[in-house]
Structure 1
């Protein structure tokens, strides 16, 4: 069985997930970062793309010690499995992602696996999906590993891939009260043929507020009641 797929994203009012500056644009506030930490703790795996890894150099850890203890008490590993997706295999083994936390997996292509070679030996398991990245095959493999909940944290190409393939079960979107306004900056979604196109209205399952941030939860596979 494939894992439940949750897309998690923070966006500006005009739909950007970052700007073009050298430092990461922090769209969330402290309370929202804590909410994301809770979502991570409830997940079996956390996934990002290689571009996000290179740009942000994240650790993708569950930061709350009490949350890690809760995972262990429930018979789970202290940290969720952390997953990187890369078509080309351009991964720097010196990034801090590889040297903290628990189990790590890399999904790549045949050519990407060749490029990676033995650079990640002892740091991560490397799985080739063939000639191209197919997200359904990736989910099949995660399911075989017994992982039931997958949290996808970006970037835009990864979110676009899951959503356009009809593989996203829910979207948690934090909308920050800022405007980026730079067409060169990365957006939440790129161009793609999404299921149902613009005529498909997703179900809005929850609306919340965290300080100055609006929190929206959508169910992409469910139809809206708006008629």
Structure 2
């Protein structure tokens, strides 16, 4: 399995405002890059916070990229995966529609009725007691044939993936905007590291409009 975390941050490292409201950080050129990355992936993964805040569809937008996937014998869109310990994903969330396969990863604390409801709309992966055990959940995804994984956020999920060593590559578009706010979400939230820190190797820096795309590999 190869896991790529992709994100867009402001110049000061924020994903959105302190109100968790999305603002335009990147432009058309970066949107096209993200669409290509989705098209090259077997699955796109987000945390439930992203689903509740943005209700993303997580499908490939460019018809020609969808055609290329079909020509390779792949589904038109990659699978959508939500990491959702307590099964809070709404049953009518866009990510659960019939455009592509959907998975919801839950833990044992998720209410049984919510799990049953979600199982009508997605393939359920139960891993972990109080929260999703990402190592077990991602192993289950891999056994389902999902090997090229793109992670689109949010900060809590990204931190947790670094915490368990599942990130192979980090791609960040840094835009020419300052958001500020001590409570605004950052690229990697969660508890934070205090002793041992994940190390990254910078592979490329590319100017994209008035921003920059940085690509690191995990060391």
TM-score (norm 2): 0.93
Q: Which digits, 9 at most, give the CA deviation of each residue in 1:95-150, with x for residues without a partner?
A: 22222421000001012152513322431111110303111111211111111100
- Alignment correspondent of 2:159: 160
Q: CA deviation at 1:10?
A: 0.5
CA–CA distance in structure 1, aligned partners of residues 136 and 194 of structure 2: 19
Question: Residue 119 of structure 1 is aligned with which of 117, 120, 123?
Answer: 117
Following superposition, which runs of at least 4 residues in structure 1 exceed 4 angstroms of deviation?
Answer: none
The structure-2 alpha-carbon separation of the partners of 1:17 and 1:122, relative to structure 1 and needing over 3 Å to count, comes to same
CA–CA distance in structure 2, aligned partners of residues 211 and 22 of structure 1: 25
- Alignment correspondent of 2:81: 83
Contact 1:166 1:194 in 2 (8 A): no
CA–CA distance in structure 1, aligned partners of residues 54 and 43 of structure 2: 19
Contact 2:201 2:218 in 1 (8 A): yes
5+ residue gaps, structure 1: 222-227
CA–CA distance in structure 2, aligned partners of residues 194 and 144 of structure 1: 34
- Counting only pairs closer than 5 Å after superposition, residues 56-67 of structure 1 correspond to structure 2 as 56-67=54-65
The structure-2 alpha-carbon separation of the partners of 1:38 and 1:115, relative to structure 1 and needing over 3 Å to count, comes to same
181-190 or 70-79: which moved more? 181-190
CA–CA distance in structure 1, aligned partners of residues 3 and 133 of structure 2: 15
The structure-2 alpha-carbon separation of the partners of 1:73 and 1:214, relative to structure 1 and needing over 3 Å to count, comes to same
Contact 1:51 1:155 in 2 (8 A): yes
What RMSD, in angstroms, separates the aligned Cα atoms of the two structures? 1.7
Q: CA deviation at 1:201?
A: 4.5
TM-score (norm 1): 0.90
- Alignment correspondent of 2:200: 202
- Tell me the secondary structure at the aligned position of residue 70 of structure 1: helix
5+ residue gaps, structure 2: none
Question: Residue 16 of structure 1 is aligned with which of 14, 17, 22?
Answer: 14
Aligned pairs, how many? 217
- Alignment correspondent of 1:46: 44
Q: CA deviation at 1:158?
A: 0.5
Contact 2:126 2:137 in 1 (8 A): no
